Amino acid sequence: MLLISLMGLAGCGFAPVYSTSNGFRGRVAFETDESVAGFRLREQLEDRLGRSSAPAFVLKATVQSSQRSAAITSEGDTSRFNIIGTATWSLRDTTSGQIIDSGEVEAFTSYSATASTVATQATQDDAEARLSVILADLIVSRVLVLSLEPVQ
């Protein structure tokens, strides 16, 4: 049954979106905020789409995040926090300057604040790094859908 399904996909023009032959791999330069969150986002975008020495496109992204209490103990202490992140992005053709697509993605991660100050800071840093991965993956998913369409 699996073999029959795979044969059906072969005839429908199925192409893996995450392959190295997508229309944007190695063709995009990234511009992000001059912040830790911006650096982490750019690092993840480069990991997913590759670095370009002669970019045909520029992906510009800005990141904003906020933190709020997610769990409060009976004594009134916060034991868990959510970090909510929003990335606003646009993909522009470097030749024409035309914006190909733009959007906004949002995600959140959580971390525990029940341990020592050092441990809480480490879990917060880890949560912020995970948030950058999630936001980058959401942006890349949108961009890769564009790669299925003919690129000028």
User: What's the whole-number average pLDDT of the chain?
Assistant: 85
pLDDT of 111-148, one tens digit each?
999 878 999 999 999 999 999 999 999 999 999 887 66
CB 91 within 8 A of CB 59: yes
Q: Domain locations in the chain?
A: 16-147
DSSP letter string, 95-136: TT--EEEEEEEEEEEEEE--S-HHHHHHHHHHHHHHHHHHHH
DSSP 8-state secondary structure symbol assigned to residue 83 = E
- Contact residues for 14 (Cβ-Cβ < 8 A; gap 6+): none
pLDDT of 34-52, one tens digit each?
999 999 999 999 999 988 8
Domain 16-147, CATH class in plain words: alpha beta
Please state, as a whole number, how many other Cβ atoms lie within 10 Å of the Cβ of residue 19: 10
How many angstroms separate the CA atoms of 33 and 42, rounded?
A: 9
pLDDT tops 70 at residue 3: no
10 Å CB burial of residue 88 (0-12, 13-18, 19+) is middle
pLDDT at 24: 78
Q: Which residues pair with 80 in a beta bridge?
A: 71, 112
How many angstroms separate the CA atoms of 129 and 121, rounded?
A: 12
